[in-house]
Amino acid sequence: MKIQIRPENKNDYKTISMINDMAFGQEAEGLLVEKLRKNKKFIKDLSLVACMGNEIVGHILFFPIEIKSDNNSFESLALAPMSVIPELQGLGIGSQLIENGLAKAKKMRHKSVIVLGHTEFYSKFNFIPASNFKISCHFEVSDEVFMALELEKYALKTVSGCVEYPKEFNDL
Ligand SMILES: CC(C)(COP(=O)(O)OP(=O)(O)OC[C@H]1O[C@@H](n2cnc3c(N)ncnc32)[C@H](O)[C@@H]1OP(=O)(O)O)[C@@H](O)C(=O)NCCC(=O)NCCS
């Protein structure tokens, strides 16, 4: 199965929302992407689609966030949301989207990525519980599902604080 990964363009917007809605079985994540796209921090090159021929079958978004403490603020990226159409899940498309996205983010000199999600899946890409660093979040979630990845060695060593997601995430 030949999959190509590329940044989104205007013609993809509707399909991206649809794929997110199908994968999550609700409309919230599709809407979230639409709202984030209007946020000035949105990075088009980090909203990636997986294509099979001309058809989009998956999507991943990395969005800038801040890790804030009383005295400091550190920039990072949230990996959210990501989706693969239900019929094609479990075939490696999601993994390709992550690998491609992480490589791209690193190339753009982003230093770290935060994700809230399936532990087994994301640990394959070296995400570890954020509690290994001094990073927390406002959500009440179990330790192992809130994870972080250093794109640059020791990037999170001196970082401490709570992850501030943009307000668009509040509606999830
Ligand atoms: C998660 C998702 C993007 C992965 O894409 P994919 O193409 O299926 O991923 P891959 O084929 O590369 O890898 C499959 C792995 O995904 C993980 N995974 C997928 N769905 C999962 C679920 N509901 N719970 C836990 N792990 C899950 C498993 O680790 C699985 O590995 P396995 O096949 O060895 O069991 C896709 O399954 C999806 O769209 N799910 C619904 C939406 C979602 O949960 N998004 C992520 C939110 S954190």
Q: Give domain limits for the chain.
A: 4-166
Determine what percent of the chain is predicted with pLDDT higher than 70.
Answer: 100
CB-defined site of ligand 1, < 6 Å: 23-24, 82-84, 89-95, 117-118, 120-121
Exposed e or buried b per residue across 43-73, where buried means at least 16 C-beta atoms within 10 angstroms of its C-beta: beebbbbbbeeeebbbbbbbbbbbbeeeeee
Q: For residue 171, what pLDDT is reported?
A: 79
Pocket test for ligand 1, best of 88, 96, 121, 145 (most atoms within 8 A of CB): 121
Q: Which residue has the tokens 């994700």?
A: 115
Task: Name the CATH architecture for the domain at 4-166.
Answer: 3-Layer(aba) Sandwich (3.40)
Q: How far is CA 151 from CA 2, 15, 74, 75, 109, in A?
A: 27, 30, 14, 13, 8
Q: Which residue numbers in the chain have pLDDT < 50?
A: none
Q: For residue 83, what pLDDT is reported?
A: 98
Distance 70 CA to ligand 1 centre (A): 36
What pTM did the predictor assign? 0.96
Q: For residue 107, what pLDDT is reported?
A: 98
